[in-house]
Every structure is written in C-alpha cells, then in structure tokens.
Amino acid sequence: MANIIGSANLPRSGAVSKGYDFASIWEQNAPLTEQQQAALSLLSNAVVERPFPVSVPQEILGQDNRFSVSTKDNLLEDSGAIEAFYKWFSELEASMKSETEEKYRHYVNTLTERIEACDGILDQVDETLHLFNELQLQHQAVATKTKTLHDACDHLLMEKQRLIEFAEALRSKLNYFDELENVATNFYSPNMRVGNGHFLPLLKRLDECISYVERNPQYAESSVYLVKFRQLQSRALGMIRSHVISVLKSASSQDRTGPCPPLVLAVIRGNGAAVSEGVEASVIYVRFKAAASELKPILMEIESRSSRKEYAEVLAECHRLYCEQRLSLVKGIVHQRISEFALKEALPSLTRSGCAYLMQVCYLEHQLFDHFFPSSSEDVTSLAPLIDPLCTYLYDTLRPKLIHEANLDFLCELVDILKVEVLGEQLSKRSESLAGIHPTLLRVLADVHERLTFRAQTHIRDEIANYLPFDEDLDYPGKLEQSAETISGTTSNTDVFKSWYPPLEKTLSCLSKLYRCLEPAVFTGLAQEAVEVCSMSIQKASKLIAKRSSPMDGQLFLIKHLLILREQIASFDFEFSVTHKELDFSHLLEHLRRILRGQASLFDWSRSTSLARTLSPRVLESQIDAKKELEKNLKSTCEEFIMSVTKLVVDPMLSFVTKVTSVEVALSSINQEQKPDSVLAKPKNLASATPDRVAELVQTVGISIQQELPKVMARMKLYLQNPSTRTILFKPIKTNIVEAHVQLQSLLKSEYSAEEMKNVGIVPMQDLNAQLDSLL
C-alpha cells in the first residue's frame, strides 16, 4: 500500500517522458540488433555503478545503496530527507538534461545557422532568378526587335533584288529598242560594206531585235520600232543583193577575160582528150570558184536564216542571180559542143554523147552550186534556171531528128540508150547531182516512145496489113524446095527466115524490137494489132497461093505460118487482148419515134422514157484476143486440110458408103414391113454396087493411098519440118481413112457373101494401119 501511494505521489519527469516516448518511437522505427542490445546492456551496467550525490543522506539509501521506502511513520519523520531527494533528483534531472541535450542544442544551433544561411542563399537565388527573369524578358524583347529588324532587312534585300532584276529585265528589253540607233548608225555609215567583219554580227543583232519586237507587240511604240527595224533590214538585204551581183559579175568577167590557171593548163596539156569533152567548162569552174569565194560566208549565213520569209526571198534571188551568171558563162560552150555532136554523129550516137556531156556539165554545176549553197543543193528547183536552159539545148537538138527518124532500129536503140545507159547506169550513180536533168531525159524518152509507137503503127499498116506480095513471095512450094536445097545439112536462122512469108518475119521482128522498149499497155495494143493483121495477111497470101499452086499448098502455107506465129508470140509475157469501148446510139431511133407519136415525154424526169434517160448512149465493151483468134483460124485451117486430104484419098469409098446408106434408108422408109434381108439385097443389085465395081473402087482407093498420100506427106514434110507437128496433123487423116475402110467392110459384110468380099480385095485393118504408119 505504501509502495502504491509512494509511486502515485512521485513526480513525473518531462524529460523522462519525452525520452521514453522518443525511445519507444525510435525502437519501433529502428529496432536494435542483438549486438547493439548487448552493447547497451554493458553500458547500463556501467552506469548503474554510478554513486549517488553526497548530499543524499545515507538513511534514505539502503544497505546496498538503493532507495528504500519507509513506512508511514518514517515518512512523516523524514520529510526533510524527501525534499532533499527531490531537490537532488531535480538537480540530477537538470544535470542529465543538460548533459543529454547539450549536443542536440549545439546541433540545433548549427542547423539553425545553416537554415539561416540557406535562407539567405535562397533569398539571393530568388533575387538572382528574378534578375534572370527580367534579363530573359529583356532578351526576348531584344530578340523580337532583332527578328523584326532581320525580317525587315530581308524584305528590303528581296525588294532590292527584285528591283535589280526588274531593272535588268527592263534594261535587257530596252536594249533591243536601244540597238536601233546603233544599228542605224552603222548601216548608214559610208564605211560599212557587206564584206566588212562587222556586217554579219550587226545583221544578226538586227534580226534578233526584229524577232523580239514581233513577239512583243504589246510594248509601247513597238510597231514604230518594227517599221524602222524592217527598213534597216531591207537596206541590209539590198546591200547583200548588190554585193552578190557585183561579185558574181566580177567573177564572170574574170572567167571571160582572165588567164587560164596553171593547174588547169597542166590538165589540158596532160590530157588532150579532156579538151574535146569540155575543158573550157572546167576552166571557168575553177576561176569562178576562186573569184567568188568571198561570197560563201555570206551565202551560208543567208541559208542558215532561210526559215524567215525575207531571207528566203533573198536566197531565191541569189539563186536566180547565180544561175543567170553561170548560164551566161556555160551556155555558149554547151551549145557549141552539142552542135558539134549534131553535125558529126548519127542520132543514137548523138543521144549518147549529148546526154553524157550534159550530165557531166550538170554534175560540175551541182558541185559548184553545193560549194556556195550547201543547204540548198538538195533542192532540185534551186538550179532549175541554170539546168533547164542547158537541157533545152539538147532537147531542141534531138527533137527535130526524132520527129524525122523513121528507122525502128534507131528508135529502139535510142530507148535502150536512154533507159539502160543514161537513166539506168549513169543517173543512178549520181542521182542527187543529176536530178535536174532527169525531167528532160524522161521527156526525151517519152518523145522517143511516142515516135516509136507511131512508126510501129505505120510499119504494121504499111509493111504487114497493106503488104503487096511479089511473085517470089508466093512461090510455094518452090521457095521451100529451094530453101531446103540451100540449107541441107545446116540450121542457119537467116536461111530459115527466108522461107517465111515477109509479113510474118516483119511482125515477129517488130514485136521483138518493141518488147523491151515500150510500156506494157502500149506494147499489148500494138502486139494485138500486129498479130491480127499478120494473121489476115497470111490468110490473103494463102488464098493467092491456093489459086497459083494448089489448095493444099495454100492450106499448108497457112498452117505453117500460123504455127510459127503462135510459137513465136508465146515467148512474149503479155496478154494479146484489148478491150474496146464504144458508144451505141442505135436504141435512140425507137425512142424518138415514140416521142414524136406522143407516147413519151421529153422532160418527164420521173419516168424512164424521159429525154435525159433515153438519149443517154450505151457503152459497149468488146474484148479482142489475138491469140484466141489465131488459135481459131489455125484450128479451122487444120480441119479443112484434114478433110481435103481425106477426100483426096478415100472420097470414092466415102461416096459409095453414103450412096448405099441413103438407098437403104429410102427403101426402108418406103416398105417398112419388108424383112431386113430383102431390104439389104437391094443395094447389091445397083449398077454401082456390083462386086466388080466395089473391087474397082477399093483398088482406086488403094492406089490413092500408095501414090497420092505419099505426095501429101512429102508436101507436109516440106512445109512442116517438125515431125511431132506432122504426126499430130496426120493422125486424124489416118483415123478418117481407117474409119472409111471400117464402114465399107461393115457394109460388105452385111450385103455381100464371103466369096464376093474376097473378090473385092479389101485391105485388112492391120495391114492398112501398118501401111499408113510407114508414111510418117
């Protein structure tokens, strides 16, 4: 009880309480390890031995120096000791507090100083930041002003550059207008010449100014400047034209009067033949080229600007002036040379020499023209004023001779010369240089074709269609016999042609000449006409020969020549057919009658009988094929010959068979009820049908086969030399003869007895065939 009261009355120390609370919190937040607790235990034991203060009475302490609690009586007695204890305890507490908190106070003071120092630093930092903020604001203001100034400077620089460019563009545009005075001053200067080195640059600058002003008509006074520029251009081009005329005339006069260059003299002395071919022309080419060499730069400059109308006109004028001067130099030489050819040479040789010389002249002229006008040399029309008159000299020389030339051989040779030698060989090698002469050569060739066609038509009419044969021309077969004796053992074509009828030989000769010379359409028409009239002429001759010699000679003559004509024209790769068109008005008479009778109207366009419809002529087309007509005539002639030979040999036999057959037909028609035997017995009783007469008839036919038929075969061999032709022609004759014997034999078997047939003596078919085959 006393302990409870004593403990309740003990004063509670604030430091102990704080220390305890702190220790508890410390222990909870930072628990000690076992090692640390052992160290604390040792420290506690050491502190326990600490002695009490001297002022504490021993009576309070126990025997073991500990506090002891007395009883109630003792407490009252020892109140003074308790006060002393509390005093001691207070001092102890104060001393402990002083010892324990001294370092913390020191630490607190230090921290307080540090806090104050940090607060001072923070104040300085805040002040510094404030200054930095003010500085940043000032920097932003300066940067803004600087950027504004920079942008303003950039804008000013851009404006300056734009103004500079505008000024430059304005100056470049004004330069074209400002050049007017400079160019005008130079062109109107008395020292300005076309040959001056400043002329062409000024002319180029003038062209640039004109082009610029033309492209910009919206500029002020551009039309006025354009007119002034064009006036200067006209003056400059006039100066060029005058300069070209002057230089060309000077070069031409030097060629006429100047000495011959040494190089050309060496050529003349070293090659005398070249002089005869026109060395004079070569001389003037060298002189002219040397004298007019200063024109080449100017002419090349004009050619480079020929796309402009003004320069194209000046270039054309320069071409004309050049051609005039060249023509004045060479026309006399060319005319003289062609005249010499015309006096000395025949028409074919004249054509060959004249064309060769003229092509040489044209080639040299083209080379010289190409030297001055490189870009214009490809245009054929540029040299036309020079080449055409030179070609005209040759054409005017050849044409009168062509018109009066009647020889087909010469005309064909001319065609060959022009087509093969001139146009084919020489012109193809230098086609670009000789393009100017090509139209003239074609014109000459066309004239030769026209003349050749006319002469061929005349030749066909006079020498073939209207040919009047001489006696020796109709001497057949004597002409063939004479030819056979002459050419026995030889095969000369000339001797073979002599046996032909002259119109046939002339027809084939004419066609062979015209085949390669004329156009296909023209040759087809002439060939058709020639074959047609040749066939008619041969037919006329065959009739005359038939009257003069024999019909068989006329037939064989016609067959021979028609076969030759057919064989020869087969080599020509053309159709001998021509389509003729003509107008037919034969139907108009009936329509006019109907109109006059009032049955039709003149102006009723809706009806088919109107005047416009009925009076329209009909176009009739007819095709004439000479080959087909020739085949038709040949076939009919061969058939006539076959029938004539057949009649010559077996005519009595055919007449007998025909007569007996007709009698049988007549008797059968009169009495149709009689038996066949009685009817067939009737012809036997005729006077001409007795066995003796039949035997005589068979004998006569046999004699004809043995005597007449060999003569016919000999005549065929004379006219037809080809064995296959004779075989083809003899085959139907043989067939007819055999057929006549077969018919007679069949008739005899039906009419006569075996003994009578034996007396008749008809030849067996096998022997007859062998006899006929032996004639071939």
Please provide residue 579's backbone torsions phi and psi, each rounded to the nearest 5 degrees.
-100, 120
Question: For residue 577, is pLDDT > 70?
Answer: no
Give the chain's count of helices (H) and strands (E). 30, 2
Judged by average pLDDT, the poorest of 15-24, 75-84, 177-186, 589-598 is 15-24
Segment 596-611 mean pLDDT:
58
- Which residue has 């030698």 as its token pair? 421
CA 94/CA 14 separation, integer angstroms: 11
Distance in Å from the first CA to the final CA of the chain = 196
Query: What's the number of CA atoms in the CB half-sphere (13 Å) around residue 522?
Result: 15
pLDDT band at residue 741 under the 50/70/90 scheme? confident
Question: For residue 648, is pLDDT > 70?
Answer: yes
- Which residue has 């903020």 as its token pair? 133
207 versus 735: the higher-pLDDT residue is: 735
Query: What's the number of CA atoms in the CB half-sphere (13 Å) around residue 661?
Result: 10
The residue type of 718 is: L
Q: Sketch the domain layout of the chain as residue ranges.
A: 2-164, 292-308+324-461, 472-575, 637-773
CA 10/CA 13 separation, integer angstroms: 9
pLDDT for res 49: 61
pLDDT for res 569: 86
The dihedral region occupied by 583, where left means phi > 0, alpha psi between -120 and 50, and beta the remainder, is: beta
Quick one: three-class SS letters along 304-331?
A: HCCCCHHHHHHHHHHHHHHHHHHHHHHH
Segment 285-312 mean pLDDT:
78
CA 698 vs CA 263, 456, 578, 683, 748: distances in Å: 103, 57, 53, 17, 12
Question: For residue 39, is pLDDT > 60?
Answer: yes
CA angle 557, 559, 563 (to 5 degrees): 120
CA 415/CA 421 separation, integer angstroms: 10
The string of pLDDT tens digits covering residues 709-733 is 999 999 999 898 889 999 999 999 9
Question: For residue 615, is pLDDT > 50?
Answer: yes
Judged by average pLDDT, the poorest of 105-109, 192-196, 439-443, 514-518 is 192-196
CA 740/CA 772 separation, integer angstroms: 14
CA 558/CA 632 separation, integer angstroms: 13
The residue type of 203 is: L
Segment 166-187 mean pLDDT:
76
Please provide residue 35's backbone torsions phi and psi, each rounded to the nearest 5 degrees.
-65, -40
Written as six digits, the tokens of 32 are: 């000690």
pLDDT for res 561: 92
Question: For residue 146, is pLDDT > 90?
Answer: yes
Cis, peptide link before residue 477, omega less than 30° from 0: yes
CA 266/CA 263 separation, integer angstroms: 5
CA 351/CA 402 separation, integer angstroms: 10
- 354: closest CA among 433, 414, 407? 414
The string of pLDDT tens digits covering residues 527-566 is 888 998 999 999 999 999 999 988 999 999 999 999 999 8
Question: For residue 696, is pLDDT > 60?
Answer: yes
- Residues of the chain with pLDDT > 70, as a percent, come to 77
